[in-house]
Structure 1
C-alpha cells in the first residue's frame, strides 16, 4: 500500500528555487511548483525523511497540517484549534514556536498573527489538558508556521509544522566562522551550479571558513548533510543523524527512519572511496585559516581538502584545467573599497597570467569591484547572500 502523500513547502535560498526543485524531485517529490524562495510539492514519508538526511538546499521542510478560510481574528483562532489533533501534535510537556507570513483581511501583521496562533494553541491546551506548553524561541520541540494568502474562494490560512526545529542549513561542522560567513545551503547551491564533479582540481583563493570547499567535496563524496559531522566515515550501522523534530511527531515511523539513515551512511562510505582531484584553499589570515581547518576537521574532510596560508593575489594553481571558486570581500561588510579595488585588480592580473584554461566562479556584491578584474563574465546568476543582492559570476580564463 502506497504511503500517504504530504503537502510540503521547502523554504530555499532566493534564485535557487529551480535547483532545489530538481533536488527534491530526486527524493520522489511530485507536483513540484517553484515559488519565491520556496518550492511546493507532495512527498511521501520516505521522501520527506530522505530529504532531511540528504537535501543540501532547503532551510526548512514544512508539512501542511490544515488549510482553512481566514479573513479575521476569530476565523484564525477557531481554524487553528480545529486544524489538528493537538493532544498528539502538541502535548503540554513539549515547547513550541510560531512563525507567520503573509496577510489576509484584518490580519496584516505577522507578529500579531503569530501571537494569535499561539493563543489559540495554549487556550486549547488549558481547556483540554489543564496545562499549557512553554514557548521557546531558540530550541523548541515544535515549530509551526502559518501562512496567510488569497485562495480561489477568498482569504485562506495554511498551517504547517516544520520537520526540524532549527534551520537545515546548519550542518553542525561550522563552530568556527569568518566575519562574513556564507550559509552552508547557499554554498551548496552555488557549487552545484558550477558543475564541479571532482574530476579536475578545485581551488578557493580566498577560502575564509572553507564553506564552499566543504560543501563541494561533501556533495561529490555523497556525505549526507543530515548525518552528524564526520559520521559518514563511521560503520553504516553505527551512523547517527542530527536531531529532527519530525521523529517526535505522533505518526513518526522510526523503523523507516533508521533504515534510511543506514542507507545514507552506506552511500557515503561508497562515495568516500572514489578518488577526487586536488582541492586547495588559500587564506591569508592565520586566525581565519585555523577556523577553516577546524571546520574541515569537524566535517571529516581533512583527507580531501588541503588548506594553506597564502594570498589569493599571488595564486599559483596546480596544473590545469581546473575550477576556481571564491567569495572575496566586496565592501558591503568587510574591507575598505579603495583597498579592495586594488585587490581585485591584482587578482585579475594574476588569473590572466597564471590560470589560463581555468574556470572562475566568483560571488560578487559589488559590480564596480568586479570590473577591476579586467575580465568579462560569461554567466551571471543572481543570488541573495545575507540580504545583499549578489551575482555568482562565471569567467573562462584565457
Structure 2
C-alpha cells in the first residue's frame, strides 16, 4: 500500500534551504519551503527514506489537516472531520502535544484536550468501538500547532529527533547537534577526496558527520523510528528503504579526516563516538593546539565550531585561539576555512575578512558561519 501523504521536514532556522536540497536529492520535487519547514507530497514509502537519509532536518511529520480555528467548538469539529483512521490503527497510542502563537486559542492544554477528544470520537465511530480505545499498539504523537488562528495537525513519524543518530556515547559541555554539524559540511563544496580537518572537534560530531557523508552512509541507519510500527507504512517499505541505504553506502571510499582538540579527554570521547558510529579508524584523532595545525596536503577543508568566549573568563583564551588559527592558516592559502561562532570580532582576530557569511542558530545562540574560500570552494 503506497498511498500519497503530505510530509513536513522540520528545519532549524536558517537551514530550510539545506533541508530542501536534501529532500530534492531523494527525488521529491514539489516542495513548499516556509519558515522552519519543508512541505511536500509523496507516497508513504518516503517516510522511511526521509527518516533514514535527511541529515539536516529535525523531524519528519505527516500533515493530517490544516484549518482556521477561532473557537474551541471549531477546533473540535474540524479535527473530528479529519481522516484519522487513515493514519492511526484501532489500538494506536496517540498522545497530543501542542503550541500556540498569536492565536485566540492560546491555552495549549485546552487545545490538546479538545484535539484528543475529537480524535477519540472519530476513531471510536470509524472502528465501531463503544468503550475505551485500548491505545496499546504503535505510537503516533499528534501535534496541534496554532499560528495566527490557523491550526495545523500533524503526526510525528520520527520519534526521537533526527539529530539522535545513536552514536553519541559521550559529549562535552556544549555539544553541537548532529544535524547542524551535517549542515555546516553541506554548506561547503567538500567532497570525499579532499582532506578535512576540524581543530575544535570536541566529542567528534563534525568529523563523524563528514565521514558519514563521505561514505554516503544514511545517518539514520543505526536507530529506530516511531513509524516503524505503523501499518500505514508497512514492513516492506522499511525493508526496501534499509536495503537501499545499504546498497548506496560506499564503505570503500578512502577518506582523510582529522579531528583534533586541545583536551585529551574530549579526543578519547570522540574516538568512542566514532567507534559507536561504526567508523572505527576512518577518522584520525589527535590532541593538538590550534597553533600547531600544519596540513601536509593541498586544497583541504577546515570546518570548526570553536569555543565562542561567551563566558567572560574564557574570552582572552578564545580570542588568542582565533588569532593562532589565522596565523596557521595563512601558510595554507589553498585551504578553505569555515568557522561557526557568535564572536563578532572573529574576522579582525583571524586577520582576514570572510569571503561570505551566513547567519545560523546554534541552539538559541545567534551565530555567523564565516567562510573563507580556497582553490576548490
Cα separation, partners in 2 of 1:249 and 1:357, compared to 1, 3 Å = same
The aligned counterpart of 1:395 is: 372
Aligned pair count reads: 371
Tell me, yes or no, if structure 1 residue 321 matches structure 2 residue 299: yes
Q: 2 CA distance for matches of 1:165 and 1:99? A: 16
Q: Confirm or deny that 1:192 pairs with 2:186.
A: yes
- Secondary structure in structure 2 of the residue aligned to 1:30: coil
- Tell me what 1:243 maps to: 224
1:12–1:297 distance in 2 versus 1, CA, 3 Å: same
Change (3 A) 1:46 1:124: closer
Residue deviations 1:115-165 (CA, integer Å, cap 9, x gap): 433454467778945335789xxxx92211223346xxxx44221111112
Match for residue 208 of structure 1 among 194, 202, 212:
202
Normalised TM-score (structure 1):
0.85
Give yes or no for contact 1:96–1:134 (8 Å, CA) kept in 2.
no
Asked if the contact 2:192–2:253 (Cα under 8 Å) also holds between the matched residues in 1, the reply is no
Q: What is the CA-CA distance between 1:60 and the residue it aligns to?
A: 0.9
- Which residue pairs with 1:75 in the alignment? 74
Pick closer, same or farther for the CA change 1:256–1:250 going to 2, 3 Å: closer
- Tell me which moved more, 287-296 or 368-377: 368-377
Q: Which residue of 1 aligns with 2:323?
A: 345
In the alignment, is the contact (CA less than 8 A) between 1:72 and 1:107 conserved in 2?
A: yes
**Partners of 1:50 and 1:366 in 2: how far apart?**
38
> In 2, are the aligned partners of 1:203 and 1:281 still within 8 Å (CA)?
yes
Residue 252 of structure 2 is matched in structure 1 by 273
Matched position secondary structure for 1:372 = helix
1:116 aligns with 2:97: no
Pairing partner for 1:179 from 157, 173, 179: 173
| Structure 2 unaligned spans of 5+ | none
- Deviation string, structure 1 residues 349-373 (Cα, Å, up to 9, x no partner): 2222x33321110001111244211
TM-score (norm 2): 0.89
Deviation of 1:28 (Å): 2.6
CA distance in 2, matches of 1:185, 1:335: 30
RMSD: 2.7
Give the C-alpha shift of residue 66 in structure 1.
2.4
Helix, strand or coil at the partner of 2:152: strand
What secondary structure does 2:350 align onto?
coil
Contact preservation (8 Å) 2:84, 2:123: no
* Alignment pair present for 1:364 and 2:341: yes
Q: What is the SS of the residue equivalent to 2:187?
A: helix
The Cα of 1:227 is off from its aligned counterpart by 0.9
Q: Which residue of 2 aligns with 1:131?
A: 132
Task: Decide which moves more: 116-125 or 164-173.
Answer: 116-125
What 5-or-longer segments of structure 1 have no aligned partner? 229-241
Among candidates 327, 332, 342, match of residue 310 of structure 2: 332
Mapped to 2, the partners of 1:87 and 1:351 lie a distance apart of 57
Task: Spell out, residue by residue over 1:293-352, the C-alpha distance to the aligned partner (whole angstroms, 9 max, x if none).
Answer: 111111111232000111122212222221111110002369611222222222222222
How far 1:111 moved relative to its partner? Answer: 4.7
Q: Measure the CA separation in 2 of the matches of 1:249 and 1:79.
A: 24
Question: In the alignment, is the contact (CA less than 8 A) between 2:194 and 2:300 conserved in 1?
Answer: yes
| Change over 3 Å in CA distance of 1:29–1:338 after alignment to 2 | same
Q: How does 1:1-398 map to 2 (within 5 A)?
A: 3-85=2-84, 89=88, 91=90, 94=93, 96-104=95-103, 106-121=104-119, 128=129, 130-131=131-132, 141-149=139-147, 155-228=149-222, 242-268=223-249, 271-276=250-255, 278-332=256-310, 336-352=314-330, 354-396=331-373
Deviation at 1:199, TM superposition (A): 1.7
In 2, Cα distance between equivalents of 1:141 and 1:370 = 48
Contact 2:100 2:106 in 1 (8 A): no
Contact 2:44 2:232 in 1 (8 A): no
| Partner in structure 2 of residue 232 of structure 1 | none
